[in-house]
């Protein structure tokens, strides 16, 4: 049985079957980017991986830059859909906050490692694509709002003057650190293990935000004592019977 706390990347549903070829091209482009980076992502190789043709590629994109814009927009859309599911408060009922944070961060480590080729392309193209920065900022705001809503739903307090700004900063720090780590991992093996990174980032968030979660109320197995019954008074007098 699948654990209710297991997180998965959300692929948003497509409305028309005509987009199937487009999705195959995008998936193939991500795979090629992960293996050889932006410079090694040729149109012919992307089309071959997609089981399509160069003509089908250019029927949908003017050039490789057009393909990248589609990839960036799809990543943003899927990342937001994944965050909505992952940060649903009911999903983490009964799970200590620190454990929930570590689980989510460990999942994020895996996702960003898988998307490392796309992340590298995004970092490379960001100076020439202002819209890319806007996409990232909108996603950051959306995820930060979901994190704050999760904390409030659990009754956790953020010991910072401006909780919303502090949560946004924490999310920004986490995403930035893990994105750079994922991209760098394509050139050199990280020194720290994925589990250690998730644990340390969870600690960073807890300490920076000053997170305090209320302790669950203890249940008592003993029944509360019943109130003593008051003695009943009667206006009738009893008559002793002779022995």
Mean pLDDT of 122-131: 78
Residue-by-residue DSSP string for 114-150 = HTHHHHHHHHHHGGG-HHHHHHHHHHHHHHHHHHHHH
* pLDDT tens, position by position, 139-197: 999 999 999 999 999 999 999 999 999 999 999 999 999 999 998 887 778 889 999 99
Q: What are the residues facing 212 on neighbouring strands?
A: 157
> Domains (ranges, CATH) in the chain?
18-61 (1.10.10.60), 68-209 (1.10.357)
Nearest CA to 172 out of 204, 197, 149, 194 is that of 204
Q: Cα dihedral sign for 123, 128, 130, 132?
A: negative
Q: Is residue 148 within 8 Å of residue 141, measured between CB atoms?
A: no
* Res 49: pLDDT: 92
Which residues, 6+ apart, have CB-to-CB distance to 210 below 8 Å? Answer: 157, 158, 159, 160
> Is the model more confident about 156 or about 231?
156
Q: Is residue 15 within 8 Å of residue 81, measured between CB atoms?
A: no
Q: Tokens 């980076």 identify what position?
A: 37
Which residues, 6+ apart, have CB-to-CB distance to 140 below 8 Å? Answer: 168, 171, 172, 175
Longest dimension (CA), the chain: 120
pTM across the whole model: 0.78
Instruction: Name the pLDDT band for 220 (thresholds 50, 70, 90).
Output: low
* Res 236: pLDDT: 46
Instruction: Name the pLDDT band for 230 (thresholds 50, 70, 90).
Output: low
Residue-by-residue DSSP string for 97-112 = HHHHHHHHHHHHHHHH
Which residues, 6+ apart, have CB-to-CB distance to 233 below 8 Å? Answer: none
* pLDDT tens, position by position, 88-126: 999 999 999 999 999 999 999 999 999 998 888 888 887
Radius of gyration of the chain (CA): 28
Distance CA 168, CA 142 (A): 9
The number of beta carbons lying within 10 Å of the beta carbon of residue 84 is 13
> Is the model more confident about 119 or about 236?
119
Q: Tokens 């969870």 identify what position?
A: 202
The distance in angstroms from the start CA to the end CA of the chain is 77
* pLDDT tens, position by position, 184-217: 887 778 889 999 999 999 999 999 999 998 876 5
């Amino acid at each position: 049985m699948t654990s209710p706390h297991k997180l998965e990347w959300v692929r948003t549903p497509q409305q028309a079957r005509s987009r199937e070829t487009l999705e195959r091209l995008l998936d193939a482009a991500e795979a090629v980017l992960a293996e050889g980076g932006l410079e090694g992502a040729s149109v012919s190789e992307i089309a071959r991986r997609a089981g399509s043709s160069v003509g089908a590629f250019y029927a949908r994109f003017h050039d490789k830059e057009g393909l990248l814009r589609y990839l960036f927009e799809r990543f943003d859309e899927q990342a937001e859909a994944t965050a909505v599911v992952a940060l649903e408060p009911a999903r983490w009922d009964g799970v200590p906050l620190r454990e929930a944070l570590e689980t989510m961060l460990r999942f994020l480590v895996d996702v960003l490692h898988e998307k490392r080729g796309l992340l590298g392309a995004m970092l490379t193209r960001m100076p020439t694509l202002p819209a890319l920065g806007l996409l990232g900022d909108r996603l950051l705001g959306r995820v930060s709002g979901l994190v704050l809503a999760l904390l409030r739903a659990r009754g956790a307090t953020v010991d910072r003057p401006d909780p919303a700004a502090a949560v946004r900063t924490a999310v920004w720090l986490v995403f930035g650190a893990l994105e750079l780590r994922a991209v760098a991992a394509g050139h050199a093996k990280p020194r720290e293990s994925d589990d250690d990174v998730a644990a340390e980032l969870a600690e960073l968030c807890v300490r920076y935000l000053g997170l305090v979660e209320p302790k669950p109320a203890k249940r008592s197995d003993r029944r509360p004592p019943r109130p003593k019954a008051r003695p009943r008074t009667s206006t009738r007098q009893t008559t002793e019977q002779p022995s």
